[in-house]
Chain A
Amino acid sequence: MVALERELSEPAAPAISADAIPLRLRRQGGTPRQVLATMVIGTIVLALFASRDLASWTERLGDTPAVLAAQKIAAEWDQDMAALGLTRPHEALRDGLRRLLDLRWGSQR
């Protein structure tokens, strides 16, 4: 609250804060269509490698007929990805993390 202590000799103009993404990083970029393309491709990659979470997300949505259909599709999709071996990195990372979480100091039980 207290960037505060500059003298107020100047008129009290509203402080317009600096851009979070500075100008030097905004000189190059893309269009809204490129944003959409990036997002769509990222989502497809995510659907391939994080199919486990897609299935568990649909399970949390409820039990309307549409959701039940979505759950079935998500479960089948997850099985297909598992058959292709694409869920292995996800499981390996989770296993590794579990081991890290279980680490204890010598003095700890």
Chain B
Amino acid sequence: MAPADIAEMGLADLSARLVARELSSSDAVSSALERLDRLEGKLNAFITVLHNQAQVEAKKADDEIVRGQHRGPLHGVPVTIKDMFETAGTRTTGGSKILQNWIPDADSALVARLRAAGAIIIGKTNLDEFGHGGTSTLSYYGPVHNPWRLEHIAGGSSGGSAAAVAAGIGPISYGTETGSSVRRPASYCGIVGFKPTFGIISRHGSFRGAWSQDHVGLFGRTVKDIALALDPVAGFDARDPASVRQEIPAYASRLKANAQGLRVGVLRRFLDGVDPAVRQSFEAALKIFAGLGSELVDLDVPEIGYAAMTSMLTSAAESAGINRRWFREHYHDFVPHVARGLAVGMAITASEYLTVQRARHRIREVLRATYEKVEIIAAPTTARVAPLLSEGVKGNGDDARHAGYNHSNLLRFPSMLGLPGCSLPCGMSPEGLPIGLQLIGAWFADQTVLNAAAAFQSATDWHKRRPDIAKV
């Protein structure tokens, strides 16, 4: 089989072929690395690539599979991880100059679980420094380019992960989200990005952006692949204070593409400033859900209009707290925009932070009542498609400094409250850039979100589209 064909396979297909020994892990890893080497000069999606180590591990995986010791759906599969996750023996930088030569001696919880599952980590992806950004242009290692249009951003902070999956460099990548750092890059890069409920995946051994809002998330091309890649890494970990006890994760076996009878809430007043092409794709997506038997419910929750400000100040204060020492010892080694943000966060007082948390609680209680009326809240993931790199950090068009019916609040409230959220492709702009739909569920309704997303994908084919860069 040609390397390009192998690289195009999703996780479900690849895993089945590995078990059947129609393909070897060595072939799968070589294909992914070949594509990485060919495209990386254009994408800048990686900080560290593990050519030799990945091929050694692939050989070991092949030997195990031949002996009948198959570990699960990730065994022998090439995956990538955001360079936020400590990886024993491998440089882990956080996208920063400060850690450019740091080699941890222990794996993060995510990496340990991936190794136990037999996954082959082929590279550490590029990101906004320590997750502080929404563009993946705030990296010491240069900006990530969008595989669909290279002069556009991939979104952040997990832009390298999203770009890698969109370009066919491994079927799955793992990232993190504090504000929107899984959902936004997934939307900009035309793939699925899933952020589980807060505490489902352990954050032990990953850098903190803001401890009360940080999540581990996943990127893939289909919802089925996401569910398969979620099971091995979810589960309680006592080392993460936010980790939740849960039964053995079985999201893949419980995945049902069914939206019949689902109540899907729409917050229309927040959509006024959304780009017309995005709005059009979103309305078309709602029609798909109606056709699948869902009930569309118009909602008005004005309290969500305070979410972006609340999320922003929470992140600013917590990030400053986490980075107190480095702020004083390495201020000039941070990316300047990130350093200035930390300085602003340092000046937030404790009483101000607590006031912000009180506002957060009010929004949380309102959403609790809202989720008695609906199972899912649907919205465009972002108000516009990926902006040009030349537009800088303001290109996303976010407004986290004013209350009101602006879309930035729809982007920020899921992570602020720890709700499960999935972004999936639902259209293309006239300029040929992907448009994303996000589905947000109630706390611990991760399966409901995945099932609704799977239902949407069963009725559409946006997720099958590929950027030209991946077709060669």
Chains A and B belong together in one complex: no
Which B residues lie at the A interface, using CB under 8 A? none
